[in-house]
Amino acid sequence: MKKLSKNRKEKILNIDFSKTYNPAEAIKILKDNTYTKFDETLDIAINLRINSEKTDQNIRGVMNLPKGSGKKIRIAVMVKGDKTKEATEAGADIVGNDDLVQQISSGKINFDLLIATPDMMPVIGKIGKILGPKGLMPNPKLGTVTQDVATAVKNAKSGQIKYKNDKAGVIHAGIGKLNFKEEDLLENLKAFYESIHKSKPDTVKGSFIKKVTIASTMGFGLRINAEKLRS
């Protein structure tokens, strides 16, 4: 990590962290003040007015960022027969069935996402205790249990991200790399916010989103004006 220069330290000290920023202005500030050797991610935190102890108020889903996530992910697909070729041609990094189950059972998990066809779920259920805690269990609601494995692989490769709230009712997600153009980050930010805004449960009355904050991986967070994110 680079050492902060005196000028950069002074610049950061001059940032008003009590202010609610226009989204475009906040993105520019974060881009101008990155100081790491690696390309940081733009992270978003959305505080929701929900009770996470109530199942019908929890938020979980997937979405495609219009400008991609900038993150390279390794995708494993568990299929049989003709679907093996389909998954491979779509760009899956690992394709298998019983052999893949054996690898996972032995603790060898070298992928970030697991996609499967419905007929493989009984087999996958046997290793659910391994996949579940790691957030890798395929789920029809997240599009990772499907007959159309080619589309699922391509969506995941092109910038599809998963999200769900934590126990405090906050959703965290990476929505692009800081080396993206400012307008592209803003487009991803608006799209992600809109996806969450539309997922308001019927049981939640009144306002749904309490606060929206964006930050860089190793940097500081800035609160932004959510009203400016509405299309």
pLDDT digits (tens, 9 = 90+) for 61-117: 889 999 999 888 899 999 999 999 999 999 999 999 999 999 999 999 999 999 999
pLDDT over threshold 90, residue 24: yes
**Mean pLDDT of the 165-180 span:** 95
pLDDT over threshold 90, residue 157: no
CA-based nearest residue to 145, from 81, 100, 78, 83: 78
For the chain, where do the domains classified as CATH 3.40.50.790 start and end?
Answer: 75-157
**Mean pLDDT of the 202-223 span:** 92
The confidence score (pLDDT) of residue 5 equals 57
For the chain, where do the domains classified as CATH 3.30.190.20 start and end?
Answer: 17-69+160-229
Query: Residue 173 is inside which H or E element, if any?
Result: strand 170-177
- SS3 for 88? helix
Q: Which two tokens stand for residue 124?
A: 């996958």
Task: Please give the CATH number for the structural domain made up of 17-69+160-229.
Answer: 3.30.190.20
pLDDT over threshold 70, residue 2: no
Instruction: Report residue 162's pLDDT band, with 50, 70 and 90 as the boundaries.
Output: confident
Class of domain 75-157: alpha beta
pTM of the model: 0.78
End-to-end Cα distance, the chain: 37
pLDDT digits (tens, 9 = 90+) for 108-147: 999 999 999 999 999 999 999 999 999 899 999 888 999 9
pLDDT over threshold 90, residue 4: no
| Rounded Cα–Cα distance for residues 180 and 190 (Å) | 15
| Rounded Cα–Cα distance for residues 132 and 114 (Å) | 11
The confidence score (pLDDT) of residue 1 equals 45
Instruction: Report residue 218's pLDDT band, with 50, 70 and 90 as the boundaries.
Output: confident
- SS3 for 135? coil
Distances (CA, A) of 130 to 106, 202, 230: 10, 34, 40
pLDDT over threshold 60, residue 3: no
